[in-house]
Amino acid sequence: MVIRMKNQLQFRLLGRKIRGSWGRFVAIALIIMLGVLLFVGIKSSGPDLYRNATIYLREQKASDVQLISTSGLTSRDVTLARQLSGAQVQANKSIDAIAAQDNDTFKLISYAKKDSLNQLYLTSGRLPKSDNEIVLDDLARKTDYRIGETIKFDQDQLNRQTYRIVGFATSPLYIHTSSRGTTTIGDGTLDYFGYLPLANFKATVYSTIDLRFKAFQDRNSYSQAYQNKVDRKIKQLKTIFKGRATARDREIRQQALTPIEKQQAKLNQAKAQLATAKQQLQTASAGQLSTTPELSAQEEQLTSAQTKLTTAKNKVATLAKTTYYFNDRADRPDFTSYGDLADRIAAIANVFPLIFFLIAVLITFTTITRMVEEERTQVGIFKALGYTRFEISQDYYLYALSATVIGIVTGVVIGTNTLPALVISIMRDQYSFPPNPVSYDWPTIAIAILLSLVASLGAVLIVVNRELLEKPAMLMQPRAPKAGKRILLERITPLWRRLTFNQKVSYRNLFRFKSRMWMAILGIAGGTGLILTGFGIRDSIDYSGQTQFNQIINYQAVLTLNRQGKQTTRTAAILNANQKYRAHLPVYLEMVKLQKKHQSVDSVSLYATSQPKVFRRYVKLSEALPQNGALLTRKAAQLLKVKVGDHVTLHDADNHDYQIKVGGITENYAGHFIYMTKAYLNRVTSNRYQPSTWLVKLKSQSQAQEEKLAGQLLKTGEVVNNSYLSTQIDAVDKQTASLRPIVLIFILLSGLLSFIVLYNLTNINVSERIRELSTIKVLGFFDREVTMYIVRENVILTLFGIIVGLGFGNLLTWFILHQAETDALIFPLIISPAGYLTAIVMTIVFTIVVMIVTHFKLKRVDMIEALKANE
């Protein structure tokens, strides 16, 4: 009976405690909710992005490896590929074609009906059922193409040119919503893809062989574990195909020589017949005649035919060697860019939400600690009445647990169902992975729950146990106020004399309660720093892309020439006739690999020039090109752990290795580059320099003008590929734009947290000093003067908090950017003045709002009740 009465009393007191401190209860729940919301929501976004990609690629049976040959692939290649254990193999044919009605460029791919790899994801319509039907890129649906219409292609490699559109789809081979790659026809850019039945292709060889490994499909395609498994399979595949390139060269030469040999046999027979005719003529004329005009003409024809056959044989002997390429998903730019963006979000999520949450936890801990300390008298009464430690502390545990559970549940639900969905919807503007139902990231949720409970229940455990160590008589008396003492400011006599009485009191109170002062400064600094960090992430990522393409790279197009750039007259004529053309520079360009001991960097762009001074007008370098060495970009140097004067191994596409001296290091923000002079390249590679690439400077052009110029250049036959930097700039801008809403969420939630922290700390300050404030109010202070008693302290704390917060924001931004960097990207620490100003203004505005609320709260204080509260 006694126990039940005790419990009833405890629960009644708990209800009264919650109602009496409703603002504090709500503040604790809100702080926990914000911390959990951002921590769980953003931390879940990265795994959800990877999960979406994994589900889509698994359900569409995306290939893990794609085999390509410069000479086409045969049934023998398919047989060899099937020797790889655990591989599902499919051969495909594809060609590039131009639509007759509007000159759009298509990548046409063979469609396999039964259990095919790289299955299409239909967005409307259906898949082809007959040879005259085609499924088009979903991107084409968004333009002028419609189901039921016919489309004609100017392509003689197809058995038919006209097809009926029966559906639109996305393909796991093209996960970017707009980029489709390059081609050597049209304007050099693929506009769409299309799938049609295999029977429509005339080619006798396959374009690609796709391989899929069922055992890998539940793994995250962007994980290192998946990549390691694929690399092992590729290594096995290369072993199987060892020597196949040489055998393929023999096959091709034999195929080319067979008709030549037949013609040679016929020619030899004709030569023999001519020789016989000459012999007969000489015999008949008793040696007087050895030929006639008819025989001479025939002899000339046979000589000409022999010359042609000899030339044809020589051409066969010089046919390009076959090269096999074993590409995995990571070799596709659109696949990699999605992973890079997801990695960047995940890297930011690993730091920013954690700091945010830790600040929320710190404030929660402080709030509950102060609440328990305020009620030490009640704790003393219960202890004197014989209540056990558990019975005394259970109210506080339940109070803290109630607020914490409400914050955790609302934070987890809102965070999981909003932020990942928002991030995924932003990514859908660029990538075609369809959304999947949200999933709860239980490991992250468990961490959030643990930290929240440690902050709330841990505070109760520490403070209640500390208070219960004292005797009831001591607990029932008010805690003795801290002894006053001289502060440093008092020692500066000229300054101290000029302060008013109220100002002196405020400064003494600040330094008298140091723990309260530091908690306020840290809380304000945390909010200000988080707001500034949001702006810093945005500005730094923006600056990286803008600087790379607006300052470091000073050309607008890259032309890849045919025949090592020996014939360029038509190309030069077209450029000179174009009003947008400014200048061009021939350079040597090759993709290489750099190595240093156990470190390596793939996909490094090697540039060599015969005009070093002119080259610096096209690429901004930190220093001049060295005569005895090469300039290496900073990120590559960091990955290789090299400095000026060291040597690196340059590995080219022909598997040749060269030792290159690092003559200098230059700034760069995206990709890896190594620059050298023509003389140095020829010295280390035995005269390899061939200026097969042009860097072209152009005035600002519209997309239509770029496409027109590209088409004209490709038609010359001298240009095999061209690319505009505007395409890369657009891609970078889109990636940057996709991060802005996420950063905006950081800023808004940081602002909200900052406001709640300020409000909560001010409430604690007021509640702790209510007797002091009531005393000065009784002594005749006006309401405005009483408010200023608190405001003056808060203004000083806010100023100090802002200063500390700006430094903290810079440090946190630097750390997050360092985590968000990839092997090919560098993000410099850049925070715009607008970012600093906004962080400062938001903090000041929050302080003003809190002070206004506090003013009206102090006006309603019952002085008599407050003064006798401890009696």
pLDDT, greater one: 67 or 870: 67
- 856: exposed, middle or buried (C-beta count within 10 Å: 0-12, 13-18, 19+)? exposed
Give dist(CA 564, CA 761) in Å, integer.
72
Residue 281, pLDDT score: 67
Q: How far is CA 185 from the centre of its chain?
A: 31
Residues in the chain: 871
Q: In the predicted model, is pLDDT for residue 302 greater than 80?
A: no
The pLDDT assigned to 464 comes to 76
Residue 2's pLDDT band, with cuts at 50, 70 and 90, is: very low
pLDDT average, residue stretch 743-749: 80
Percentage of the chain lying above the pLDDT 90 cut: 7
Which residues 6+ apart lie within 8 Å of 582 measured at CB? 697, 698, 699
Say whether pLDDT at 344 is over 60.
yes
> Partners of 152 in the beta sheet?
162
Which band of pLDDT confidence, cut at 50, 70 and 90, is reported for residue 80?
very high
Contact 592/636 with Cβ under 8 angstroms? no
Give the Cβ contact number of residue 533 at 10 Å. Answer: 33
Tell me the average pLDDT across 64-81. Answer: 90
* pLDDT the model gives residue 409: 92
Average pLDDT over residues 535-553: 80
Q: What are 722's strand-pairing partners?
A: 559
Predicted pLDDT of residue 79: 92
The upper half-sphere exposure of residue 866, i.e. CA atoms within 13 Å in the direction of its Cβ, equals 18
Mind listing the pLDDT tens digit for each residue in 589-645?
A: 888 888 888 788 877 888 888 898 888 888 888 888 888 888 998 888 888 888 888
Q: Which of 173-182, 265-274, 375-384 has the least mean pLDDT? A: 375-384
3-45 residue pLDDT tens: 555 556 666 766 776 776 777 788 788 888 888 888 888 888 8
Q: Under DSSP, is residue 583 helix (H, G, I), strand (E, B) or coil? A: strand
Residue 862 pLDDT class (50, 70, 90 cuts): low
Task: Kindly list the domain boundaries of the chain, sorted by start residue.
Answer: 94-202, 513-552+725-871, 553-724
Residues 454, 360: Cα–Cα separation, whole Å: 12
Residue with the two structure tokens 């505007």: 726
Report whether pLDDT(364) > 60: yes
Q: Give per-residue pLDDT as tens, 667-705.
A: 888 788 899 988 898 888 877 788 888 888 888 888 778
Instruction: Indicate whether 853 pLDDT > 60.
Output: yes
608 alpha carbon, distance to own chain's centre: 30
Percent of the chain at pLDDT exceeding 70: 92
Picking from 294, 288, 324, 291, the residue whose alpha carbon sits closest to that of residue 73 is 324
Strands (E) located in 153-190: 162-170
Q: What is the mean pLDDT of residues 381-403?
A: 78
At 809-850, the pLDDT tens digits run 898 888 888 877 777 677 888 888 988 998 899 888 888 888
Side chain identity, residue 405: V
Residue 870 has a pLDDT of 52
- Core vs surface per residue 342-364: b (16+ CB within 10 A) or e: bbbbbbbbebbbbbbbebbbbbb
**Average pLDDT, stretch 161-173?**
90
H runs (alpha helix) in 318-388: 333-349, 352-374, 376-384
Q: In the block, which residue shows the tokens 């005649």?
A: 289
Q: What is the DSSP letter of 114?
A: S
Taking only the tens place, the pLDDT of each residue in 485-506 is 676 777 777 877 777 777 777 7
- Highest average pLDDT, of 468-472, 496-500, 770-774, 848-852, comes from 848-852
| Pairwise CA distance, residues 124 & 109, whole Å | 19
- What does the pLDDT read at residue 134? 92
What is the pLDDT, as a whole number, of residue 1? 47
What letter would DSSP give residue 627? S
The answer to whether 532 and 839 have CB atoms below 8 angstroms apart is yes
**Which tens digit of pLDDT belongs to each residue from 514-540?**
767 777 788 788 888 888 988 888 888
Minimum mean pLDDT range among 342-351, 481-490, 743-752 = 481-490
User: In sequence order, which residues have a C-beta less than 8 Å from that of residue 311 and are 6 or more positions away?
Assistant: none
CB atoms within 10 A of CB 463: 21
User: Looking at residues 201-206, what average pLDDT do you find?
Assistant: 89
Q: How high is the pLDDT of residue 757?
A: 77
Residues paired with residue 601 on neighbouring β-strands, in sequence order: 594
Report which of residues 278 and 337 the model is more confident about: 337
pLDDT at 478: 65
Dihedral angle, C-alpha 168, 174, 176, 178, nearest 10 °: -60
Average confidence (pLDDT) over 74-89:
91
pLDDT above 60 for 869:
no
- Indicate the pLDDT class of residue 565, thresholds 50, 70 and 90: very low
Rounded to the nearest integer, the mean pLDDT of the chain is 81
- pLDDT category at 483 given cuts 50, 70, 90 is low
Crossing angle of the two packed helices 501-512 and 783-820, in degrees rounded to 10? 40
